[in-house]
Amino acid sequence: MLRNADFTEADLTGITGNDVNFHQASLQYASLAFSRLKAPVFSNAVLSGAKCNSAVWGLSRFANAAAEGQTEPLEQAVFMNTSMVETVFDHARIRGYFYDCSFAAASLVSTDLQQSQFCGPNYANRFGASKLIGTSFRYTQISSAVFGRAVISRADFLGASLAPQIAHHLRTRDAINLTDACGLFT
């Protein structure tokens, strides 16, 4: 466990690991580009401004294409009360459990979040002013998220389970495959 670790502005490009726990760690403006972390935990961590492009987190080494259904919990990245404000996740692949996280002004261009879960209290998992361009939310479960002011272009929600208010909001945006999304939280 890397409790209270300070990796502010650290160059962690290309790191690999299995069960890495960043509890209350500061990763502000750090580079985690091209990193591969099998089951990282970011609890009360700060990744604001970090560069996480092309990272692969929460995927077993055998995971290639997304399939319908949930990822095993031991194979997920866990994000609880994590700040990812202005973080760059472009072209990253993340299977995660997200509880009350902030993605404000984050860049998730062509990011693969398939089979992830987004939950928490009302208005948790805030994507305000983030870039969701070509982002894949396929087969995700989204019970709590706010997409206000996010730039959404061709974000894919094929097979996603969405809370009704989230599905309603996304129907007014440039999201695709919403007709194939399920409203399991009705």
What's the pLDDT score for residue 63?
Answer: 53
Predicted confidence at residue 186, as pLDDT, reads: 39
Contact 181, 158 (CB under 8 A): yes
CATH 2.160.20.80 fits 1-62+77-186, yes or no: yes
Q: What tens digit of pLDDT does each residue of 95-136 get?
A: 999 999 999 999 999 999 999 999 999 989 999 999 999 999
Cα 145 from Cα 139, distance rounded (Å): 15
Determine the pLDDT at residue 179: 76
List, in sequence order, every residue forming a beta bridge with 6; answer none if it has no partner: 26
Q: Which residue has the tokens 């990796």?
A: 7
Regions in the chain scoring below 50 on pLDDT: 62, 65-66, 185-186
Q: Kindly report the pTM of this predicted structure.
A: 0.92
What does the alpha-carbon distance between residue 22 and residue 147 come to, in Å, rounded to a whole number?
A: 26
What is the per-residue pLDDT for 2? 80
